[in-house]
């Protein structure tokens, strides 16, 4: 699977509270396996710069229906600096789940 660039879309509901809703969006991966049953994206996030995805928190954004998997998700993050990576996944010809390399790391500042 190919590299997956993404971009920060915005912050919604950024008023008080422990977590702030932050919407993260990325450029779609057009590979068929990502956009059919068993495919989708994983959004990894951490407060540690240069984090390893194997030890990071993550949100699964699976394909559900239609022509494309969703290209955004909302995270609830506490104020501070966060680092985000996105990877695509799909089923291989043998039915095993395969992941793309994760995107470059994006730095996100969540205000108090």
Structural domains in the chain, CATH included, are: 6-110 (2.60.40.10)
Q: Give me the percent of the chain exceeding a pLDDT of 90.
A: 36
Q: What's the average model confidence in pLDDT over 72-95? A: 88
Q: What's the average model confidence in pLDDT over 21-29? A: 86
Phi, psi of 26, rounded to the nearest 5 degrees? -145, 165
Q: How far apart are CA 83 and CA 27, in angstroms?
A: 18
What are the Cα distances from residue 32, in Å, to 3, 26, 90, 96? 15, 17, 8, 15
* pTM: predicted TM-score of the whole model, two decimal places: 0.83
22 within 8 A of 74, measured Cβ to Cβ: yes
38: its two tokens = 């068993």
């Amino acid at each position: 699977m190919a590299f997956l660039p993404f971009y920060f879309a915005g912050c919604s509901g950024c008023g008080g509270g422990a977590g702030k809703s932050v919407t993260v969006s990325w450029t779609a991966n057009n590979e068929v396996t990502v956009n059919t049953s068993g495919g989708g994206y994983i959004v990894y996030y951490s407060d540690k710069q240069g984090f390893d995805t194997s030890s990071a928190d993550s949100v699964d954004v699976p394909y559900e229906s239609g022509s494309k998997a969703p290209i955004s998700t909302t995270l609830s993050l506490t104020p501070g600096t966060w680092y985000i990576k996105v990877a695509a996944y799909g089923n291989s010809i043998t039915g095993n789940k395969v992941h793309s390399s994760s995107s470059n790391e994006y730095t996100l500042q969540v205000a108090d």
